[in-house]
A and B are shown apart, each in its own frame.
Chain A
Amino acid sequence: MKKLLEVKDLHISFHTFAGEVQAIRGVDFDLHEGETLAIVGESGSGKSVTTKSIMRLLPQGNSEIKSGEILFNGENLATASEKKMQKIRGKDISMIFQDPMTSLNPTMTIGKQIMEPLIKHRNLGKKEATERTIKLLDLVGIPKPETRLKQYPHQFSGGMRQRVVIAIALACAPKVLIADEPTTALDVTIQGQILDLMKDLQKKIETSIIFITHDLGVVANVADRVAVMYGGKIVEVGTVDEIFYNPQHPYTWGLISSMPSLDSQDEELFVIPGTPPDLLHPPKGDAFAPRNPYAMKIDKEEQPPMFKVSDTHYAATWLLHPDAPKVEPPLAVQERQAKFHASIKGDK
């Protein structure tokens, strides 16, 4: 598959009164054409900062891209000018935000808000833009688009508002769509509708999606590939099956075991002990080591490189080093791995 977007060794810092917070500490990933890549991790792991840097939406003044490249269409977005970025935002790369209440302008009709990128990027006339807007509203499943486009955001429900936001993001048929927790603020039933809609539209418009979330259920539903972030780094990346059925990093193990399954019985929920790392003073070794029951001496001294598990699956943990002792993952993960190996044998 063709690579559409490449992020190489990205480092981003925020300058605060307390000192330099190293929010992103060397992130590498690719986005292939037509795929959905999910980025998961807890609050503060750097998932939103990474994607905002692709759009260059980080606050000016106190944030800084220290090093690294964001390659899109042969151009390095990390150093692109603001003028150049304005041409890309909303046209080639667009974004859906978490809270549809705050990402729409309450004083503009939704029709005007959807037309904005069409008029700016596509140079459409008002009449053409209106026609296209009606088509877009229809596409995202808003009934009676002709009357709805004259209404204001407060006249829409939460789920409908998120559909409007999706319509704006897709107005110019972007190559990359970044969705930052697009369903977190919505109800389960509405969430299901929005996820189905996004998958359906992805096929129609042939766009690639970067999907940020901390809900593993949503990841299992939408993603082709998954990247797990922790402490400003990607600690494991693989196809959705590899991450869910054959996870290798102890942090991924913790994430998967801390979710109750619908048939889990009365035992206590698994908890990842401790707190996230302080990125003001990032640790010398593996950032997860203090919370990792499997941590070895080397974890505290040296950061693990990405070890290869398969062609598509990599994980940054010393446990994968040939000299590392064999450990038993948590029970929930063992069950998943057993299923995974059984299915591989079945395929052969």
Chain B
Amino acid sequence: MTEKLLEVKNLKQYFNIGKPKEVRAVDDISFDIYKGETLGLVGESGCGKSTTGRTLIRLYNATGGEVLYDGVNVHGKKSGKELKEFNQKMQMIFQDPYASLNPRMKISDIIAEGIDIHGLAKSPKERLEKVYKLLETVGLNKEHANRYPHEFSGGQRQRIGIARALAVEPEFIIADEPISALDVSIQAQVVNLLKKLQKERELTYLFIAHDLSMVKYISDRIGVMYFGKLVELAPADDLYRNPVHPYTQSLLSAIPLPDPEYERSRKRKAYRPDIHQYEDGEDVRMREISPGHFVNCSEKEFEQYKANYNHKK
């Protein structure tokens, strides 16, 4: 991996600040995303993975910390022009292909909305040509341009969502559970498409999901979140072969696999946060256990994890 595209430093996103119901959705997390890679983000619902994605793209204003995109602070004060430039570089694909397309707009207008805003087409003809080309890229055809969202199946809608994200020629795409609303056979189609586009256009992805086997398949590196914290960050293979944090181990032990024999002998590990028994003021942070493999732990646990880690090799 070469260049850092995105640096997240001590990002915090709290809701209901100062009220009794304060929620620390994202609580002091740091990670980098390199150019051309796919970073997977997994965790159970409510762990803050979607909030992280949304904060990165400025859908929320961060409570604390900073996000640097190509060295520029995403949440810093920007002029309208700078903001527009930034918005063109970063795009998002949403989870629910039914809710994320305006039912009263034609497909061509949905896809071209970004093209219009950024003035990427000089004439109506060029605009339409761009839309046709995008539809082709995602495996639909130009007859689809004049239809409305309700005429499409879930998988096709997700393709439209992808075409819309690609319309402004972004560098970085945040995919927030893009396949969890789809059937197994359709999931494979969308994942293949995302991979193909990444190769052709040198895109960088943040792939948020809770389906762990799909995440393993698409990601180069994976971050595991638990209650607003990043607990482990490692190359995809390494994470599955040598999960270190007890929460990661519990998560991996729960993945159902299409193999009855394996399922009969499966043992699930439960995770209890109180096994850590951190003392007050103990220094708990991300520590590098082997090159590129980070775990959130205390100094004491770090020694333990490290000892165990080497045995497994």
Q: Could you list which residues of chain A lie within 8 angstroms of chain B, going by C-beta atoms?
A: 42-43, 158, 187-192, 195-196, 214-221, 223, 240-241, 244-245, 254-256, 258-262, 264, 268-272, 275
Contact = CB atoms under 8 A, between A and B. Distances in A.
A158 B45 CA distance: 10
B158 to A, nearest CB: 13
A219 B263 CA distance: 10
B99 to A, nearest CB: 15
Given A214-B184, A269-B192, A272-B188, 5 more contacts: A42-B184, A189-B44, A191-B254, A217-B255, A244-B259
Contact of A255 (B45, B185, B255, B257): B185
A260 B192 contact: no
Interface string B255-280: 11111111100101001000000000
B257 A192 contact: no
B260 A220 contact: yes
B192 A220 contact: no
A188 B192 contact: no
B240 interface: yes
A321 B257 CA distance: 32
Contacts of A196: 268
B258 A256 contact: yes
A269 B258 contact: no
A98 B256 CA distance: 18
Interface of B: 44-45, 153-154, 183-189, 191-192, 195, 210-214, 216-217, 240, 250-251, 254-263, 266, 268, 271
19 contacts: A42-B183, A43-B183, A158-B45, A187-B45, A188-B210, A189-B254, A218-B256, A220-B260, A223-B260, A240-B260, A244-B260, A245-B260, A260-B217, A261-B213, A261-B257, A268-B195, A269-B217, A271-B189, A271-B192
Contacts of B153: 275
B260 A217 contact: no
B251 A188 contact: yes
Given A187-B210, A188-B210, A188-B251, A258 B258 contact: no
Nearest to B195: A268
A214 B251 contact: no
B254 A259 contact: no
A220 B262 CA distance: 9
Nearest to B217: A260
A305 B266 CA distance: 37
A244 B256 CA distance: 14
Nearest to A219: B258
A67 to B, nearest CB: 29
A214 B183 contact: yes
Contact of A188 (B240, B255, B260): B255
Contacts of B154: 43
A42 B186 CA distance: 9
Most chain B CB atoms below 10 A, which of A187, A215, A218, A255: A187
B49 to A, nearest CB: 11
A254 B266 contact: no
Contacts of A270: 188
B259 A220 contact: yes
Contact of B217 (A221, A223, A256, A264): A264
Contacts of B213: 217, 259-262
A258 B266 contact: no
A41 to B, nearest CB: 9
| A-B interface, 8 closest residue pairs, ranked by CB to CB distance from nearest | A217-B256, A216-B258, A260-B217, A187-B44, A269-B188, A258-B188, A192-B254, A221-B263
Most chain A CB atoms below 10 A, which of B185, B251, B271: B185
B44 A188 contact: yes
A189 B250 CA distance: 8
A31 to B, nearest CB: 19
A319 B216 CA distance: 35
A218 B186 CA distance: 18
B44 A221 contact: no
A258 B184 CA distance: 7
A189 B210 CA distance: 10
B251 A189 contact: yes
B241 to A, nearest CB: 10
Contacts of A271: 185, 188-189, 192
Given A187-B44, A260-B213, A272 B258 contact: no
A202 B93 CA distance: 41
Contacts of B266: 221
A221 B251 contact: no
B289 to A, nearest CB: 21
A262 B256 CA distance: 11
A221 B154 CA distance: 27
Contacts of A216: 184, 258
Contacts of B211: 188
A190 B44 contact: yes
A54 B216 CA distance: 39
A270 B187 CA distance: 10
